[in-house]
Structure 1
């Protein structure tokens, strides 16, 4: 249990999530493609409801609740956790900035697991650098026509609804980007899955004159970067929570292993080098958890909102880097068995690597922190 004091309601929520998520079906379907059966099960069990605030849409999301949800599910199934998180990331901009009609059309279907959502920001030459986005959105009467490509998009090409960020004003940098809600069945929209190290659904999207109405705009024209950043400020601490849950699962398995594994006639844990390494990993895990919880609580309290990008970046940076080190250490203490295909640690070892890249790589998080501390004029 963390030293951070959870409220009685929060502890009850964690208990409920653990109980409900414990009965989720094993991941099925084709590797690298959306597992709709798993997403529907998340919806049927009420777990997708936790992506958003209590009550009916358009209630806002609660960062701490989201972190507890992701951390708890991550300890049980990284496949289920990833499926759940991608639903939230792809749909939250609609909840946050969409019209009431868009919210009514898509958010209940996302919560039930009937509609699959995706967040389409990254391109081959533009990740966190929104100023480099090349996907064009051009006015055509009251509508917009989207032309270009997106790459490394989670849930592509199988999603039912995409939050898409496109350039609406040339040579305007981040100020010339607009967010759109684009249905996956739109004429002119196609794509392909990508074969990745971890079998999560990631793909490429091609927009060949995809036409959307004015009602598809999320927020204001040319202000889409703000939509993206508000979403990422909420979700970045919860990426840290995902990392914490994975690291906790690895550490729990390792504690059992070092107690039971006999080496030279004694438990592996009796070796001081092993005991000290476990102590260091547990300490690092606790520090990561506290940083995540602090960032999430500050978000929910609305405390010093100008500092939230820094807090979110710190939580995401430290927790994901720590989880990589912890899981690597746990694999080392297990030895060759942990590298065998199908071993829980082998799965965690593959899955944890992506966390240091998506939603802003660790280097990007360091830049966000530095700009917030030192000032944008001193950093690039």
Structure 2
């Protein structure tokens, strides 16, 4: 059954998360440096038990965490999400030894994780990866990684990377293997990239970086399955992040338009303003419901998770862009002043329409899934 509303326990937990974000996480986030990993913030998330919950609960819980934190502290939300994205492949596909070594450090906030999929020539087209994993005939077996990764969140400051490399040339998605690569591995270097978004993003260079069978996540040649399995979980939660930002912008707009006097009365009494606010609320709630439905489908092992995940991510991120932009318009110039909530959200809201599959990619996934399952009874499609 699709969950179209939260139970009282979930509602209370979301309120608790918002309070934690305001009282304990926001002050730590404010001390961070834009473009750098805020390790005290990651440690605070671990101390509060939120990082451990990434790996002990389902997709709906993940979405509720991301939405709730995003309403109050996007920096805390992003730090949490990046830990989950980078380490989920270890949790879901790693060996017992890999999980035992890394997951306690990730959940404590002691080790920072990163998901290294994108490359200079392979962003949305993830099957076109060029990072090579050549057989290491001179060493003790395994492979040598040679090439580049780019637009990697938490790089170059992460402690471990989930890296996707081509082990079989010319095999497309079938020739990719996922590796767990510690940051101190010889031949691995990185540089930060100065981006619009405030969280850290960088490039990685692999100069014959050694990896062995002990570093493989899942099975050799099945790395694309690891990547897509991770993205099917995290795409709806990107939507939840977007819904949280949209809600924060909507809340700010309600307060501003109720109190701001213009043309002989409060802004809210102008029909053009009140109708705009109503549209913002309508779209935000529609996106929220689609995110919850996609997360519930994932938790129930439904057959149509790729389509639902893509729909949720697409609708929510496009909606958030619209709502934040409308909020800026209704606030006027003050919203673009450095340090204003909406100035911050305006910078944050753009990137989710690109990362973890751009909006155009989500549309392609949706169409592919629709045609693949056309004519089949509902629920009969293979996952």
Coarse TM-score class (shorter-chain normalised)? over 0.9
What corresponds to 1:56 in structure 2?
none
Partner of 1:174: 173
**1:9–1:347 distance in 2 versus 1, CA, 3 Å:** same
1:168 and 1:222 in contact (8 A); partners too: yes
Contact 1:118 1:162 in 2 (8 A): yes
Once the two structures are overlaid, the 10-residue window that deviates more, 278-287 or 24-33, is 24-33
Does the CA contact (< 8 Å) of 1:17 and 1:47 recur in 2?
Answer: no
Pair 1:111 & 2:107 matched:
yes
Which of 304, 308, 312 is 1:311 aligned to? 308
Q: Partner of 2:35 in structure 1?
A: 32
Cα distance in structure 2, aligned partners of 1:103 and 1:8: 34
Q: Deviations over 1:50-70 (max 9, x none)?
A: 2122xxxxxxx4100000000
Q: Displacement, 1:7?
A: 2.2
Q: Is the 8 A contact 1:27 1:80 kept in 2?
A: no
SS state at 1:65 partner = helix
1:130: how far off?
A: 2.7
Whether 1:67 and 2:63 are equivalent positions in the alignment is yes
Select the residue among 124, 127, 143 that pairs with 2:123.
127
- 1:17 lines up with 2:14 in the alignment: no
CA contact under 8 A between 2:29 and 2:38: conserved in structure 1? no
In the TM superposition, 1:233-248 aligns within 5 A as: 233-248=232-247
In 2, are the aligned partners of 1:247 and 1:323 still within 8 Å (CA)?
Answer: yes
- Distance, in Å, in 1 between the alignment partners of 2:8 and 2:19 is 17
Superposition pairs of residues 273-288 of structure 1, within 5 angstroms: 273-288=272-287
**Separation in 2, partners of 1:335, 1:108:** 47
Partner of 2:134: 138
Instruction: Determine the C-alpha separation between the residues in 2 that align with 1:7 and 1:260.
Output: 33
Q: Is 2:346 the counterpart of 1:349? A: yes
For residues 125 and 339 of structure 1, the distance between their equivalents in structure 2, rounded to whole angstroms, comes to: 34
Contact kept, 8 Å, 1:131 with 1:172, in 2: the verdict is: no
Name structure 2 gaps, 5 residues minimum. Answer: 375-383
1:162 and 1:51 map into 2 onto residues whose CA distance is 17
- CA distance, structure 2, for counterparts of residue 94 and residue 112 of structure 1: 15
Provide structure 1 residue ranges, at least 5 long, that are not aligned to the other structure: 54-60
| Count of aligned residue pairs for this structure pair | 366
Q: Provide the C-alpha distance between the structure 2 equivalents of 1:152 and 1:343, rounded to a whole number of angstroms.
A: 27
Judge conservation of contact 1:155–1:202 (CA < 8 Å) in 2: yes
C-alpha separation in 2, matches of 1:131 and 1:284:
33
Map Cα deviations across residues 205-235 of structure 1 (whole Å, 9 max, x no partner): 0011111221110001010000000000000
Give the root-mean-square deviation of aligned CA atoms. 1.4
Number of the residue aligned with 1:194 = 193
Report which stretch shifted further, 178-187 or 126-135: 126-135
